[in-house]
Structure 1
Amino acid sequence: MTKNLSKIPFLLLMAIVVATFFLPSVPSTTENGEINGADTAWMLTAAALVLIMTPGLAFFYGGMVNKKNVLSTMLQSFICMAVVTVIWVVFGFSLAFGDSIGGIFGDPRTFFMMNGVIDGAPWVAAPTIPLVLFAMFQLKFAIITPALITGAFAERIRFISYVLFIGLFIVFIYTPLAHATWHPDGLLFNYGVLDFAGGTVVHMSAGWAALASALYMKKRNDTNHAPAHISYVLLGTGLLWFGWFGFNAGSAMGANSLAAIALATTTTASASAAIAWVFFDAVKGRKPSAMGTCIGAVVGLVAITPAAGFVTIPHSIAIGVIASIISNLVVDWRTRTNIIDDTLDVFPCHGVGGMVGMLLTGVFANQAINGGNETGNGLIFGETTLFLVHLIALVGVSIFAFFGSLLLLKITDLITPLRVTPAEEVEGLDLSQHDETMSYEEIKKPEHAVAY
């Protein structure tokens, strides 16, 4: 059955190729309106910066797993760039940003196969850049979100099952959250939720899906865990930090002062979180480590994401420090429990970091920073509306992302088994899933030889 199922994605891709022959042609002229060259140039750059975060994540995760699982773990990030792109072009963008259906998801027909995107009017929240650029910028967010989940079930998931799961996740978890949060007619948007660059849409959804995956997939059989290459983790962190400027500053949708503020808050939150993680480890009697510094920096980046364009620079430092300490404590708790085998602590770092960032946005948001914030100032300014809105939304999004992901995992498992066999897990996913290793000289079995 599994062998027959593996043919389905190829047949679907061929069907998409055939369908392109019957699409209407694009008009020879397009209406540019108020398209601004500087804004367009910056957003082209920002889209590229966000895309490089996914290879950065591949190195970040790849360096943390056992040597026999490095390639499989890295490939799980890279394949998202292929799978999610095709889904996004066919109907994913429509589900996220198409005509609203109940404020929960978009009409899949609105931009089906990118029809009407090249010659379409600019998106209402990005009026100075072409619609196609907005679509491609948002695609990069969709790509990295399921890639973030992979650290939770690293070293024990079948590749074909993983591909099916991320496809389901994008359609049924990511796009409804993106629509509800960022579409002008979205449920959370109209409720007053502020999410500048994806703390709710990206990190909370991935974090809760990671927790669901860790619980559903249960513990690894091979519990011997030694990071393969901490140098990879350092490289991945650098690429993530670099790309995050596009992630957050790009979410200003133009080359403007708000983008500069988001860039500044992103830098300071990440730096303060890295320092806080190292210092907090020292308080607990641990030596400063490269791994801890990198994890702290990423937690800071996660936490500032929803707040980047709504808070001051000093408050971004507070967000980084608070998120770092809380995530550090949750990591310690997770390592002591025998219930949750979240391999690379995705939930404590991305899930908890995203939730802390969302709540602290409700604490520190300042309307003087962003006039587009109509919900109100944060709790620190004596106003409670925004904080309560975020608190209620946090509960709702958490329930949706966690239980929705559990359901998708079960559906995937019914179609094709999620877990590798115990023997395949011991052998390592590089060999058992891909017939590859970090070094081909290490391949012992003739059947694993690779021809070039």
Structure 2
Amino acid sequence: MAEVACPIGTLSYTVTGSDEPGCMPMVDSVFIFVGTAVCMLLIPGGLGMLYGGWGGKRSVLTMMAICYTGAVVISIQYFLFGFSLSYSNTGSSFIGDFSNALLINVNAEPMAVAPALPASIFMLFQCMFAAITPVIIIGGGAERIRIWPMTLFLLLWSTFCYDFFIAWMWGLNGWLKKFGELDFAGGTAVHVASGAAGLALAIFLGPRQNKNVYPASMKDVLLGTGLIWFGWFFFNAGSTLALNFQALNAAVVTHFAACAGCITYSLMGYIHHKKITAECLVNGVIAGLVGITPACGYVWPASSLAIGALTAVCCYCWTHFARPKIPVDDALDTFGLHGVGGIAGAVLTGVFATSGVTELGGYEIPGGWVDGHWIQPLKQLVGVVVIGLWSFVVSYALLFAIDKIPGMKVRLAPEHEVNGSDHAQMGDM
């Protein structure tokens, strides 16, 4: 092999079929590697504390345990074939193949979808998305779900829903990507998908026997939300797959959308109930974060304020006016925040997206309404409808099938639900 040194500050790798090494920026790899570690913290530390604190004191450990078991099992699935189905270079427009199963050829040489990163670092970063997305779903069945049937469901949902959605939206040949839907960091593929699945779970299980259960720890809810807010910077900014000005702008708009969502949701709560509640503060932050996720790589800070505020309005109207009138016990508002927020964020992306932001990352898009591209919101709706319906139908079918397996009833027995899922399943409180 000819000895060709890469410049200082770059990483070298062996190019397949070539005698010369390739070079890639080191700073991008370090950025994504650090972001991966932070995103991992969100699963047990952020989402686990949030869900554990929101539920009743008799189901705290169960909710946190499913966060762990789901993330672990899905990570193994990602190693076996999940990553390959999502991002393989030779996949179709509908789903990937098994060319990278068992992480074959996933090493220092970049993937086609991430040419500036070692494939191994790109894989690990995307594994965090794959691990946390299905776990969001369990909020729809809080206080009445069993650990192992739910873990099996999350594994199957990741295979038959999430891997497909990622292949469509972010895969090399994805049909939604070619169709022109814009989803920078997972508004449709993550939040609409998990929200629809959470709704299916809530409908399948039916209502809790006792809905009037106080949250186990609002302190944990607030702290968990803070950790989620912290990690969301890396989920959104890291989706540029490079440390550039587009990534910095993505971090900026993420923060201000969360702030706008928090203020708007809290003001609506104060007008409605004459109180400033922790529930409004937390839900407002999450609504703003969910709303900005599909748009973070496409909009300027001024637009992020509008997206955060409008998404919070939509989520508040659902959770406080619409949901109480329907017989669905979405215990932790999984659909109300992630589903409704994801839909609002996707549509608003079609309104506010502009090519000027993507030029910071070295490429252009047609833009949304602000750029005179009037069709973009309709393209956004196509992705929302297809992914939302697919996720809901497949989720319900998977729950129905798992529930028929001997010993794998998804819902707790009535007496165990009354006594508490922690004591019944884990022998602890």
Match of 1:261 among 246, 249, 258: 249
Rounded to whole Å, the distance in 2 between the matches of 1:185 and 1:133 is 21
Corresponding position of 1:418: 410
Rounded to whole Å, the distance in 1 between the matches of 2:363 and 2:194 is 25
**Which secondary structure state, in structure 1, belongs to the residue aligned with residue 140 of structure 2?**
coil
Corresponding position of 1:383: 373
Instruction: Specify the code of the residue in structure 2 equivalent to 1:111.
Output: N
What do residues 132-159 of structure 1 show as CA deviations (whole Å, max 9, x unaligned)? 0000000000111111011100111111
Counterparts in 2 of 1:225 and 1:334: CA distance versus 1, 3 Å: farther
- After TM superposition, what 4+ stretches of structure 1 lie above 6 angstroms from structure 2? none
Match of 1:407 among 388, 397, 403: 397
Counterparts in 2 of 1:83 and 1:334: CA distance versus 1, 3 Å: farther
Corresponding position of 1:113: 102
**Which secondary structure state, in structure 1, belongs to the residue aligned with residue 49 of structure 2?**
helix
The correspondence of residues 29-428 of structure 1 with structure 2, limited to 5 A, is 30-31=14-15, 33-55=22-44, 56-99=46-89, 101-107=91-97, 109-119=98-108, 121-371=109-359, 376-415=366-405, 416-428=408-420
The Cα shift of 1:99 comes to: 4.2
Q: Which blocks of at least 5 consecutive residues in structure 2 are unaligned?
A: 1-12, 16-20
**Which secondary structure state, in structure 1, belongs to the residue aligned with residue 139 of structure 2?**
coil
Is contact 1:192-1:374 (8 Å) kept? no
The Cα shift of 1:224 comes to: 2.7
The Cα shift of 1:286 comes to: 3.0
- 354-363 or 123-132, which deviates more: 123-132
Rounded to whole Å, the distance in 1 between the matches of 2:144 and 2:363 is 43
Alignment identity in percent?
Answer: 36
What do residues 385-407 of structure 1 show as CA deviations (whole Å, max 9, x unaligned)? 22221122222122111111111
Is contact 1:179-1:186 (8 Å) kept? yes
Rounded to whole Å, the distance in 2 between the matches of 1:129 and 1:50 is 18
Counterparts in 2 of 1:214 and 1:373: CA distance versus 1, 3 Å: farther
The Cα shift of 1:431 comes to: 0.8
The Cα shift of 1:334 comes to: 4.6
- 337-346 or 321-330, which deviates more: 337-346
> What root-mean-square deviation, in Å, do the aligned CA atoms of Structure 1 and Structure 2 show?
1.5
The Cα shift of 1:243 comes to: 0.3
Instruction: Specify the code of the residue in structure 2 equivalent to 1:62.
Output: G
Instruction: Specify the code of the residue in structure 2 equivalent to 1:270.
Output: A
**Which secondary structure state, in structure 2, belongs to the residue aligned with residue 33 of structure 1?**
strand
- Using the size of structure 2 for normalisation, the TM-score is 0.92
Counterparts in 2 of 1:315 and 1:338: CA distance versus 1, 3 Å: closer
Rounded to whole Å, the distance in 2 between the matches of 1:327 and 1:100 is 39
The Cα shift of 1:358 comes to: 0.5
Rounded to whole Å, the distance in 2 between the matches of 1:373 and 1:323 is 28
**Which secondary structure state, in structure 1, belongs to the residue aligned with residue 210 of structure 2?**
coil
- 49-58 or 173-182, which deviates more: 49-58
- Using the size of structure 1 for normalisation, the TM-score is 0.87
Q: Are 1:435 and 2:423 an aligned pair? A: no
Instruction: Specify the code of the residue in structure 2 equivalent to 1:135.
Output: M
Is contact 2:294-2:349 (8 Å) kept? yes
**Which secondary structure state, in structure 1, belongs to the residue aligned with residue 295 of structure 2?**
coil
Instruction: Specify the code of the residue in structure 2 equivalent to 1:397.
Output: I
**Which secondary structure state, in structure 2, belongs to the residue aligned with residue 35 of structure 1?**
strand
Instruction: Specify the code of the residue in structure 1 equivalent to 2:418.
Output: V
Counterparts in 2 of 1:358 and 1:86: CA distance versus 1, 3 Å: same
**Which secondary structure state, in structure 1, belongs to the residue aligned with residue 54 of structure 2?**
coil
Instruction: Specify the code of the residue in structure 1 equivalent to 2:125.
Output: F
